[in-house]
Every structure is written in structure tokens, then in C-alpha cells.
Amino acid sequence: MLEVDLKLRELDRARWRMALALTSGMVLTYFGFIAMVAFGRSVLAIQVMPGLSLGILLGALVIVASWVLTWVYVRWANSVYDPAVRALLASRR
């Protein structure tokens, strides 16, 4: 197998590892929230401050977590993945 292809395979593994780790993070966050809704009603009813129940706070945090996870991916892709792809393309020429 060519060295380029070996490097490509390595890059492929790294991307899928990152993608699957972040997907699992999203799955755990959202289904954790749903599990709380289903089984932790009394906990979610606790008001952190008057009006702001834990349920509303966690719901908003699910949205914030989605933002954070996408940001982590974009950062990784821009700073690690893209340079590696560019290096591979350069070595092929």
C-alpha cells in the first residue's frame, strides 16, 4: 500500500473517531434530558431562582451543548483535519 494511502487511512480513522465521539456526546446529552423529563419530574420542578426551573435551564443547556459540540468539531476540523488534508494533497503532486 502506498504511503499516501496509509496516511489517508489514518486520517479517515481520526475523523470517524472524532465524529462518533461528538455524536455520542449529543446522544447522551439529549437522551439524558429526555430521561430526566420522564423519570425526574420532581427534580426538574426545582426552581434555581424564582421562575427559572431546573427543567427550563437544562432545556436551554441542551441547545447550548449542541452549539458547543458543533464548535468543538469545527475547531478540530479547521486546525487538525484541514492541514492534514492539505499536506496529503501536496505530497501527491
Partner 1 sequence: MIQEPAGTAIGQPNAIAMAFFFGFISITLGITWWAAKRTRTTEHFYAAGRTVTAGQNGFALAGDYMSAASFLGIAGLVSTTGFDGLIYSTGWLVGWPVVLFLIAEPLRNLGRYTFADVVAMRLRQTPVRIAAAVGTLATVTLYLIAQMVGAGGLIRLMFGFSYEHAIVLVGIVMIGYVLFGGMIATTWVQIVKAVLLMTGALLLALLVLLRFDWSPAKLFAAAAQQYGSGVLAPGRLVSNPLDAISLGMALMFGTAGLPHILMRFYTVPDAQTARRSVFIATGLIGLFYLLTFILGFGAMVLVGPETIKSVDPGGNMAAPLLAELLGGTPFLGFIAAVAFATILAVVAGLTLSGAAALSHDLWVSVFRKGRAEPGEQLRVARLATLALGVVTVALGITFKGQNVAFMVSLAFAIAASANFPALLLAIFWRRYTTAGAVTSMAVGTIATLLLIYLSPTIQVDILGEQSAWFPLKNPALVTLPLSFAAGMLVSWLAPEPEAAMGFTRLERQTHLGLESE
Cα–Cα distance for residue pair 43/53, rounded to 1 Å: 9
Is residue 80 part of the contact set for partner 1 (CB under 8 A)?
A: no
Applying CB under 8 A, among 6, 17, 23, 87 the residue interacting with partner 1 is 23
Cα–Cα distance for residue pair 40/43, rounded to 1 Å: 5
Cα–Cα distance for residue pair 7/86, rounded to 1 Å: 12
Contact yes or no for 73/18 (Cβ under 8 A) = yes
Is residue 53 part of the contact set for partner 1 (CB under 8 A)?
A: yes
Interface size with partner 1, residues (CB under 8 A): 54
Is residue 56 part of the contact set for partner 1 (CB under 8 A)?
A: yes
Contacts to partner 1 by CB under 8 A: 5, 8-9, 11-12, 15-16, 18-20, 22-23, 26-27, 29-31, 33-35, 37-39, 41-42, 44-45, 47, 49-53, 55-56, 59-60, 62-64, 66-67, 69-71, 73-74, 77-78, 82, 85, 88-89, 92
